[in-house]
C-alpha cells in the first residue's frame, strides 16, 4: 500500500475503516467466486464463500448508513430465531438457503462494478428494516414464556409453532415420576429436590423443572413421588438426547444450593416402567460423557415413566 494511501486509511473514522475493510474482503471473495470453477472448489466451499460475502456486504451497507442501532422491528424479527436457538441445530443467525433468491442476489450485488452502482444499491435498502428476510423459525418445540400477555408476541410464537413440522404430527406425552434416590448419608441433606431437563450435545433443549423439596426419608432413601411432564413429546425428543436429573440441596453454612450428584436416561431407553439410574459425581456433564460413579453400593435414582396416547 503506498504511503499516502496508508495515511488516508489511518486518518479515517473507525466506521470508514471498517467499511473499507468489509468492501475489500467482499470484493476479494467475489473474485474468488468467479474463479471457483477454475480453482476446482467444491460446492460446499463455494456456498461458504458466498455466505461470507453476503454478510460482509450487508455489514458495509449498515456502516455507511450509520444504522448500527437495532430497531424494534429488527428485534421482533429475531424473536423466533432466539426461541428455537437451543432446540434444533441451525446455522446462526441466518440460514441463507432459505433466503428469497431475489433478495440474495440484491445483497450479493454480483453485477456491481463501480462505486456509483454500489451507492445506488445502498440507497435502495430500507433504513428501518432488515437487509434480508429472517427465515421462518423451526424447532422441536416452542418454549413457554411466563407472565407475558402481549398479543403480538403470542402471535409470533404461534407462527413459529406452525412452521415446525413436528408439531403437525401427533406426539405422546412423557410423564416421569421421580420416586426416590438412595444415598448412604441420606439424613444430612436439607431441603433436597431433583432438577430434570432434556439435553443433547451439551445443550439444554427445554426449560428445567424442579420437584418440591422432599420431607420423607426411609432406609437410606429420600422419597419424592413427584411427577414431571416433559415439554417435548416422545416423538420430538432428538436421537442422541438424554433426560438429565440433578440431586440438589441447601447448604446453610455457605447459604447456597449445591448439586450432590446426577443421573441420566438416554433417549433410546425412554420406555414405560420403572428405571433405576446410576448416580454420578458432580459436576454434571450435560454431554453425558464424563462419568464417575458416586458409589459402588446398590443405591440409585428410581424413576417411573408413563408414555401417554398420541395427541
- With a pLDDT cut of 70, the percent of the chain lying above it is 54
* pLDDT for position 77: 74
The reply to whether 277 falls in a domain is yes
Q: What is the 3-state secondary structure (H, E, C) of the chain?
A: CCHHHHHHHHHCCHHHHHHHHHHHHHHHHHHHHHCCCCCCCCHHHHHHHHHHHHHHHHHHHHHHHCCCCCCHHHHHHHHHHHHCCCCCCCCCCCCHHHCCHHHHHHHHCCCCCCHHHHHHHHHHCCCCCCCCCCCCCCCCCCCCCCCCCCHHHHHHHHHHHHHCHHHHCCCEEEEEEEEEEECCCHHHCEEEEEEEEEEECCEECCCCEECCCCCEEECCEEEEEEEEECCCCHHHCCCCCEEEEEEEEEECCCCEEEEEEEEEEEHHHCCCEEEEECCEECCCCCCCCCCCECCCCCCCEEEEEEEEEEC
Q: Domains in the chain: how many in total? A: 3
Considering the domain boundaries, does residue 107 fall inside one? Answer: yes
57-80 pLDDT, tens digit per residue, is 777 766 666 555 666 777 777 777
Please tell me the predicted confidence (pLDDT) of residue 97.
56
pLDDT band at 108 (very low <50, low <70, confident <90, very high): low
| Residues 220 and 240 reside in one and the same domain | yes
Same domain, 117 and 164: no
DSSP-assigned beta bridge partners for residue 281: 261
- Label residue 202 left, alpha or beta by phi (over 0 means left) and psi (-120 to 50 means alpha): left
Q: Is residue 267 part of a domain?
A: yes
Q: Domain limits at 117?
A: 3-68+99-124
**Domain final residue, candidates 144, 168, 192:** 168
Both 151 and 198 in one domain: the answer is: no
Distance CA 237, CA 88 (A): 11
Last residue of a domain, one of 168, 192, 224: 168
Cell of 69: 442501532
Higher pLDDT, 263 or 123: 263
Residue 92, C-beta contacts closer than 8 angstroms, at least 6 positions apart: 81, 85
**How remote is the C-alpha of 80 from its chain's centroid?**
11
Q: Which CATH number covers residue 237?
A: 2.60.40.150
**Within-domain flag for 129:** no
Distance in angstroms (rounded) separating the CA atoms of residues 280 and 47:
44
- In whole angstroms, give the CA distance from residue 197 to residue 212: 15
Same domain for 180 and 299, yes or no, is yes
pTM more than 0.85? no
Q: Note the pLDDT tens digit of each residue in 85-103.
A: 655 555 555 555 555 555 5
Residue 130 included in any domain: no
Cα–Cα dist 141/206, whole Å: 8
pLDDT of residue 223: 96
Compute the distance between CA of residue 305 and CA of residue 174 in angstroms, rounded to an integer: 7
pLDDT band (50, 70, 90) for residue 118 = very low
C-alpha triplet 262, 267, 268: angle, nearest 5°: 120
What percentage of the chain has pLDDT greater than the value 90? 41
| Phi, psi of 273, deg, nearest 5 | 125, -175
Neighbours of 248 (CB within 10 A): 20
Cis peptide, bond prior to residue 44, ω within 30 of zero? no
Rounded to the nearest integer, the mean pLDDT of the chain is 72
Amino acid at each position: 500500500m503506498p504511503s499516502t494511501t496508508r495515511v488516508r486509511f489511518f486518518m479515517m473514522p473507525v466506521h470508514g475503516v471498517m467499511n473499507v475493510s468489509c468492501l475489500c474482503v467482499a470484493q476479494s471473495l467475489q473474485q474468488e467466486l468467479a474463479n471457483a470453477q477454475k480453482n476446482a472448489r467444491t460446492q460446499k466451499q463455494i456456498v461458504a464463500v458466498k455466505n461470507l460475502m453476503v454478510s460482509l456486504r450487508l455489514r458495509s451497507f449498515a456502516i455507511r448508513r450509520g444504522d448500527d442501532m437495532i430497531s424494534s422491528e429488527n428485534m421482533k424479527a429475531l424473536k423466533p430465531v432466539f426461541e428455537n436457538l437451543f432446540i434444533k441445530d441451525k446455522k446462526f443467525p441466518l440460514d441463507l438457503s432459505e433466503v428469497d433468491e431475489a433478495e440474495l442476489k440484491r445483497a450479493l450485488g454480483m453485477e456491481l462494478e463501480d462505486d456509483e452502482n454500489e451507492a445506488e444499491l445502498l440507497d435502495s435498502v430500507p433504513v428501518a428494516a432488515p437487509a434480508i428476510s429472517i427465515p421462518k423459525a423451526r424447532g422441536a418445540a416452542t418454549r413457554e414464556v411466563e407472565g407475558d400477555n402481549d398479543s403480538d408476541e403470542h402471535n409470533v410464537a404461534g407462527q413459529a409453532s406452525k412452521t415446525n413440522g413436528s408439531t403437525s404430527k401427533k406426539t405422546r406425552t412423557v410423564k416421569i415420576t421421580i420416586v426416590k434416590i438412595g444415598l448412604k448419608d441420606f439424613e444430612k441433606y436439607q431441603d433436597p429436590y431433583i432438577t430434570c431437563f432434556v439435553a443433547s450435545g451439551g445443550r439444554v433443549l427445554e426449560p428445567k423443572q424442579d420437584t418440591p423439596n422432599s420431607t420423607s426419608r426411609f432406609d437410606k432413601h429420600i422419597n419424592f413421588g413427584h411427577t414431571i411432564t416433559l415439554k417435548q413429546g416422545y416423538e420430538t425428543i432428538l436421537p442422541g438426547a438424554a433426560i438429565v436429573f440433578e440431586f440438589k440441596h441447601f447448604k446453610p453454612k455457605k447459604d447456597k444450593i449445591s448439586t450432590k450428584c446426577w443421573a441420566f436416561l438416554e433417549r433410546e431407553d425412554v420406555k414405560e416402567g420403572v428405571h433405576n439410574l446410576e448416580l454420578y459425581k458432580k459436576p454434571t456433564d450435560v454431554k453425558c460423557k464424563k462419568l464417575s460413579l458416586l458409589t459402588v453400593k446398590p443405591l440409585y435414582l428410581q424413576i417411573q415413566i408413563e408414555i401417554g396416547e398420541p395427541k
